[in-house]
Amino acid sequence: MTYLSKSPWVIHYDGSSCNGCDIEVLACLTPVYDVERFGIINTGDPKQADVFLITGSVNEQNKAVIKQIYEQMPDPKVVIAIGICANSGGIFRDCYNVMGGVDTVIPVDVYVPGCAARPEAIIDGVVKGLSILEEKRKASEVAKEASA
């Protein structure tokens, strides 16, 4: 365990979610689940975030926004798609304006299914994401040493 997985700061973006998954994400911060126990903080600033939580499907309107937030996050970072809409587009999949899941725009590391995803499942997804974050950090260190 390094410091990266001891203080993962998350940024939450609502694609075109019905708010069901958003409320479950925020429920993780309440006294019942209290994810700050693990050093997780819900920040609004992509430049200070390590974990990108996305709820809802991607449409033509928010495609650019999601890409921009992803690009503004410093490496290493992980993307977690929360809820079935973010996974695959869900029931909105066939809409004329919906592109599908988040992975149609940016690479997704962890998929948390559910409609809406339970807070327990979201926390489990973030914990899975932390091990991926750790792998990414090691990979980037190896790459840095190789280039130096």
Partner 1 sequence: MNTISMIILVVGYLILAPILGCLLAGIDRKISARMQGRIGPPILQPYYDVRKFIEKDQITPNKVQDFYVMCFLLFVIITGCIFFSGGDLLLVIFALTLANVFLVIAAFSSNSPYSQIGAERELYQMMAYEPMILLTAIGFYLVSGSFQVDTILTSSEMPFIYLIGIFIGFLFILTIKFRKSPFDLSMSHHAHQDLVRGLTTEFSGRSLAAVEVSHWYENIMLLGFVFLFFCNGTIAGYIAGIIVCILAYFLEIVIDNCFARMKWQVALKSSWVVAVMLGVINVGALMILL
Chain residues that interact with partner 1, rule: CB under 8 A: 2-4, 6-7, 9, 31, 34, 36-39, 41-45, 47-48, 50, 72, 74-76, 137
Is residue 55 within 8 A of residue 25, CB to CB? The reply is yes
User: From the CB of 4, what's the least distance to partner 1, in Å?
Assistant: 5
Find the helix or strand (DSSP H, E) in which 129 lies. helix 119-147
Q: What is the rounded distance in angstroms from the CA atom of residue 56 to the CA atom of residue 17?
A: 4
Nearer to partner 1, 23 or 95 (CB): 23
User: From the CB of 78, what's the least distance to partner 1, in Å?
Assistant: 13
Nearest to 67 by CA among 46, 83, 36, 87: 46
User: From the CB of 73, what's the least distance to partner 1, in Å?
Assistant: 8
